[in-house]
Amino acid sequence: MEYPSQNQIVSAARRIAFGIHRTPVLQSAFLDNRFESVLFFKCENFQKAGAFKSRGAVNAIFSLNDKEAQKGVATHSSGNHAQALARAAALRNIQAYIVMPENAPQVKIDAVKGYGGMITFCKPTLEARESTLKKVIANTGAVEIHPYDNLKVIEGQATVAMELLEQQSCLDVILCPVGGGGLLSGTALSAHYFSATTRVIACEPAGADDAYRSFKSGKLIPVINPNTIADGLLTSLGKLTFPIIRKFVDDIVTVKEESIVEAMRLIFERMKILVEPSAAVPLAAVLEKRVDVKGKRVGIILSGGNVDLNHLPWQ
């Protein structure tokens, strides 16, 4: 199995520092009292392009040599990776080609265009996305940057927990949402390298529980017809991320949809910050007592803040 070394993660942090935010860690006295613990929220919702994805995208693009980079980069994504890749490509002055489903929300299309990304639309199926991406790559010679199953992307996402552990030492546990596993595998590696006693627990919507089932069975089980408000967590674990997660993650728990909405609203009301539903999944696990946080110092990764203000889930 292949995974980034400690040195590679440290190098990634140096490589991307010019193009990402060192995001703040916020606390809430109200939430600490309520859960009898000390919660440290790592605010990747304040990250460039609104999510941690900017870290992996910048690291992947700035790890290419000039020859590799010159024909641009490509991916298929309807979410935060698309915006992050378009922005990172603009930082390097190369073209990003983004394959998006034709039913992607206008706000996401506009964001990718705003960063100078070139969009190719396709039917909203995984097959159409993959075959369209192949054609785009054949036509342009662009390098594919997969949203999570890419070692340079994993290195970049690992800098979230590396930073958090610099900002707050002696964490007992870090809670991290899981979709494709890029953030989770990076988080588990950074905890392993930089704070060996810190446990990592992944939090997943019950309606998209492929990571939970894969982790418990030891076999990579793809998600089928996922159904959750946490639209950043619909994807399945990858060939690179699954082995890292099996080896370095301590546990995976699942949460209900109602808890995700409740946690999201709690973060809005009490912390006065915007998070997207996926980012509320770890606090949902605390609400449901799926993880025991009492008396502990707990890191919570708020993965992103790109929420549709016209359709907040409690309306």
C-alpha count within 13 angstroms, C-beta hemisphere, residue 294: 3
DSSP summary character for residue 65: -
Distant-in-sequence, close-in-space partners of 307: CB < 8 Å, separation ≥ 6: 274, 275, 276, 277
Q: Which two tokens stand for residue 187?
A: 């988080």
> 48: phi > 0 → left, psi -120 to 50 → alpha, else beta; which?
beta
**Distance of closest approach, residue 25 Cβ to a second copy, in angstroms:** 11
Q: Indicate whether 50 belongs to the interface with a second copy (CB under 8 A).
A: yes
- 305 counts as binding a second copy under rule CB under 8 A: yes
Min CB(163)–a second copy separation in Å:
17
Interface with a second copy (CB under 8 A), residue from 14, 67, 272, 294: 272
Task: Compute the distance between CA of residue 267 and CA of residue 43 in angstroms, rounded to an integer.
Answer: 11
DSSP state of 277: G
At its nearest, how many Å lie between a second copy and the CB of residue 298? 20
Q: Does 314 bind a second copy (CB under 8 A)?
A: yes
Angle at CA of residue 25, ends 20 and 29, nearest 5°: 160
Nearer to a second copy among residue 119 and residue 273 (C-beta): 273
Q: Say how far apart CA 260 and CA 312 lie, in whole Å.
A: 12
Structure tokens belonging to residue 87: 């922005």
The yes or no reply on residue 315 touching a second copy (CB under 8 A) is yes
Closest approach of a second copy to the CB of residue 93, in Å: 18
Binding mask 80-119 for a second copy (x = CB under 8 A): ----------------------------------------
Task: Say which residues have a Cβ less than 8 Å from residue 210's Cβ, sequence separation at least 6.
Answer: 221, 222, 223, 226, 236, 237
Q: Mask 201-240, x = binds a second copy (CB under 8 A)?
A: ----------------------------------------
* Cα–Cα distance measured from residue 116 to residue 9, given in angstroms and rounded to the nearest whole number: 28
Q: Which of 273, 291, 296, 297 binds a second copy (CB under 8 A)?
A: 273
Binding of residue 33 to a second copy (CB under 8 A): no
Residues near a second copy (CB under 8 A), total? 18
Among 5, 24, 102, 227, binds a second copy (CB under 8 A): 24
Which residues of this chain interact with a second copy, rule CB under 8 A? Answer: 24, 26, 45-46, 50, 265, 268-269, 272-275, 305, 309-310, 312, 314-315
